[in-house]
């Protein structure tokens, strides 16, 4: 997904596209690691407005993914959606400023994405936005009961026998603790 700067009307432009997961290398890596596999293509809409020599982008994306529940370890499918704002700004040629790394970090913190040349390629930014849309601790259901920490039974499917008299493992250590009188 690209935009030639010379095709950019002063009033702004709206672009839509559908990206195939197979063409998104960062997502392919995540799928190989088992972290997240996209199960649908990614629908993207970008509204791009030129502002003072920069290009402000409001974007929306939507796709579907297979994730692993962080509590019960079951695989499940869920929709991933994101609404984001970034601003593309031209890289300063020559870069007379201090060490590039520090400068890049500052730019990213402000939601600024550097580009050069006559067109903007949105692909890397979009891959990043998809990754940011993946929950850090995915849950198959908000009330997922998880696995019994003793016998491993999936508590969504029924209770196990060890459940009634177990102590929270975080508190188990306290059970034998002798407190001074």
If one asks whether residue 24 binds Zn ion (CB under 5 A), the answer comes out as no
Are 64 and 77 within 8 A, CB to CB? yes
Q: Which stretch binds Zn ion (CB under 5 A): 4-12, 57-65, 85-93, 159-167?
A: 159-167
Per-residue contact string for residues 86-125; x = within reach of Zn ion by CB under 5 A: ----------------------------------------
- State the Rg of the chain over Cα: 24
* Shortest distance in whole angstroms from residue 68 CB to Zn ion: 9
Can you read off the two tokens belonging to residue 6?
């010379």
Tell me whether residue 86 is exposed, middle or buried, using C-beta atoms within 10 angstroms of its C-beta: 0 to 12, 13 to 18, 19 or more. buried
If one asks whether residue 140 binds Zn ion (CB under 5 A), the answer comes out as yes
* Shortest distance in whole angstroms from residue 137 CB to Zn ion: 11
Are 14 and 51 within 8 A, CB to CB? no
If one asks whether residue 151 binds Zn ion (CB under 5 A), the answer comes out as yes
If one asks whether residue 79 binds Zn ion (CB under 5 A), the answer comes out as no
What is the three-class DSSP state of 4?
strand
* Number of neighbouring beta carbons within 10 Å of residue 139: 16
Site of interaction with Zn ion (CB under 5 A): 69, 71-72, 140, 144, 148, 150-151, 153, 160, 162
């Amino acid at each position: 997904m690209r935009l030639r700067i010379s095709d950019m009307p002063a009033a702004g432009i709206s672009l839509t596209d559908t990206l195939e997961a197979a063409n998104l290398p960062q997502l392919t890596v995540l799928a190989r690691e088992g972290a997240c596999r996209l199960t649908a293509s990614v629908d993207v809409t970008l509204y791009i407005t030129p502002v003072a020599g920069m290009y402000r982008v409001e974007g929306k994306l939507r796709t579907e993914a297979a994730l692993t529940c962080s509590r019960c370890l079951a695989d499940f499918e869920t929709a991933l959606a994101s609404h984001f704002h970034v601003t593309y700004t031209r890289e300063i040629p020559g870069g007379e400023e201090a060490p590039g790394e520090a400068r890049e970090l500052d730019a990213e913190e402000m939601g600024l994405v550097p580009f050069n040349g006559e067109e903007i390629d949105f692909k890397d930014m979009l891959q990043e936005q998809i990754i940011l849309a993946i929950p850090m601790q995915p849950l198959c259901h908000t009330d997922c009961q998880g696995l019994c920490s003793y016998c491993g039974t999936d508590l969504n499917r029924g209770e196990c026998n060890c459940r009634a008299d177990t102590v929270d493992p975080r508190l188990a250590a306290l059970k034998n603790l002798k407190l001074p009188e």
